[in-house]
Structure 1
Amino acid sequence: MVLAYFKRGQFKLREYTRTNFFVGLYLANDMEEDEEELKYEIFPWLLGDRWRKTYPRFLQKRDQLLRRIDYRALVSRRCCEEVMKLCPDHYVWQRERESHHGGAIRKYAADSEEYYPRGPSHSPRFCQDCDIRMAEMVLDDDSSADNKVDTFYWIRTEE
C-alpha cells in the first residue's frame, strides 16, 4: 500500500525515505484496521522515546500525504498483488501469518484495559492463541508424559 501511495503522490526517488514510509504505513493502517491503538505502535519505531512530543507533527504529515494522493487511500488487493509481483521472491511475501492474526480485530490487544506502544526495544505482545498452538505442537511431537508437563510449563512462562 505504501508503494501505491508513493506512486499516486508522484514521489521523487529522494522522497522514498524512512519517515515517508512510516507515514504511508500509518495511513495504510488507518485504512485497513479497526483497532485504533495498535497503529500507535508506529510512533516509537519512527519517532523514538520522545514520540509523545513529536507525534502531532507526524499526524500532519499523514494528512499531507492524504491530500497529495488526492484522498485515494484505498488500495485494492489486486493493486497490492501487482506490487508484490515486482519482486515476487522477496522474503516479506514468503512469510506465513497465523489465520487468527488476520483481519482487523485481535483478541490479545482487546483484552488489555489500556494499550501503550512498546516500540522496537521490547518483545512482541503476548498472544494467547499462539502460545496455546505452540504448546499443542510440542505436546504432539513429544511422547514422554513427564517432558510434556515440563515443556508446557516452560512455554507458558517464557516471555
Structure 2
Amino acid sequence: MARRQPSSQADDQSSQPSSSGCPRQRPGCKRKRSVAFRVEVEGDPAAEAQDPWVVESLSGLKMKLKRQRVSSVLPEHHAVFNRLLEDPIVKKFLAWDKKLEVSDKYLLSMVIAYFSRAGFFSWQYHIIHFFIALYVASDMEEDNQAPKQAIFSFLYGKKHSQRPLFHKLCFQFIRSMGWKTRVTREECEQIQAFDPDLWVWGRDRTLLP
C-alpha cells in the first residue's frame, strides 16, 4: 500500500502567519533579520544613552581649565587687593567681623580670584569691587546669608535705596567673570601661598575660641 504523501495544504499552513502576526518557522530554519529591524536597533534610544558620558568627559575638561585659572592670578591682582585693604571702610569692616562670618581667609582669597577673572585693569578696581566680590563669595560658600547684609550698612549707611544698584553691579561683575564664581579650596591656598605673611591670612575660623 502506497504511503500517503504530505499534502500541499500542510505546507501552506506552516507558512501562514501565527496569531502574533509573525510567520511560523520550519524546524531547522533561522529567521533572517529584516532591514527595518536593524535600523530600529541602530536608532534605539538605548544606544544614545552614552551621550551623557561625553558630557561627563567635557565636565572633566572644565575642571582642568579651572585649575589653569589659578595661574591667571597675577601679582597685580594681589597688589590691588593689598591696596584696598588699606581703605578705612574696609579696615573698619574687617575689624567689625570678629567672628569671621563674612571675611575669613578663604572668602578673602576668593576676592583675589574674582579680581583675576573679571579682567579689569588694576586702576579700575575700587572699594565697591572689594565688597561686591566679598558679597558674591559669601553667597557662594555660606549657608547663613544674614551676616553679609552688613556690607550694605558699611557702604550706604541707612540708605536702602542703593541696594538695587548694588545688586545690579553684582550681576555685571559676575557676568564679567563669565559666570565662573566657583573657587576651590586648593585655589584659595595657592593664592594665600603667594604672600603667606599677609596679615589677613590669619583670619582662620578654626582658631577662634
Using the size of structure 2 for normalisation, the TM-score is: 0.45
Aligned to 1:77: 185
Higher RCO (CA < 8 A, seq sep 6+): 1
Aligned to 2:173: 65
Q: Percent identity?
A: 37
Deviation of the 1:96 alpha carbon? 4.2
Q: Distance in 2 between matches of 1:2 and 1:16?
A: 11
Of 133, 142, 146 in structure 2, the residue corresponding to residue 37 of structure 1 is 146
Equivalent position SS for 2:152: helix
Are 1:48 and 2:157 an aligned pair? yes
Alignment of 1:1-159 (within 5 A): 1-50=110-159, 52-98=160-206
Q: Which runs of 5+ in 2 are unaligned?
A: 1-109
- Whichever of the two has the greater Rg, that structure is 2
Amino acid at match of 2:142: E
CA displacement, residues 86-119 of structure 1 (integer Å, 9 cap, x when unaligned): 21101111244356x7xxxxxxxxxxxxxxxxxx
Deviation of the 1:36 alpha carbon? 2.2
Q: Distance in 2 between matches of 1:94 and 1:36?
A: 23
- Taking only aligned residues, the RMSD between alpha carbons, in angstroms, comes to 1.7
Q: Which runs of 5+ in 1 are unaligned?
A: 102-129, 131-159
Q: Distance in 2 between matches of 1:96 and 1:35?
A: 18
Q: Distance in 1 between matches of 2:112 and 2:204?
A: 21
Q: Distance in 1 between matches of 2:203 and 2:176?
A: 32
Amino acid at match of 2:120: F
> Runs (4+) of structure 1 moved beyond 2 Å?
94-99
Using the size of structure 1 for normalisation, the TM-score is: 0.58
Amino acid at match of 1:36: Q
Q: Distance in 2 between matches of 1:3 and 1:95?
A: 15
Amino acid at match of 2:174: L
CA displacement, residues 66-100 of structure 1 (integer Å, 9 cap, x when unaligned): 1111110010111111111121101111244356x
Amino acid at match of 2:136: L
How many aligned positions are there?
100
- Mark the CA change 1:96 to 1:7 in structure 2 (over 3 Å): closer, same or farther: closer
Equivalent position SS for 2:195: coil
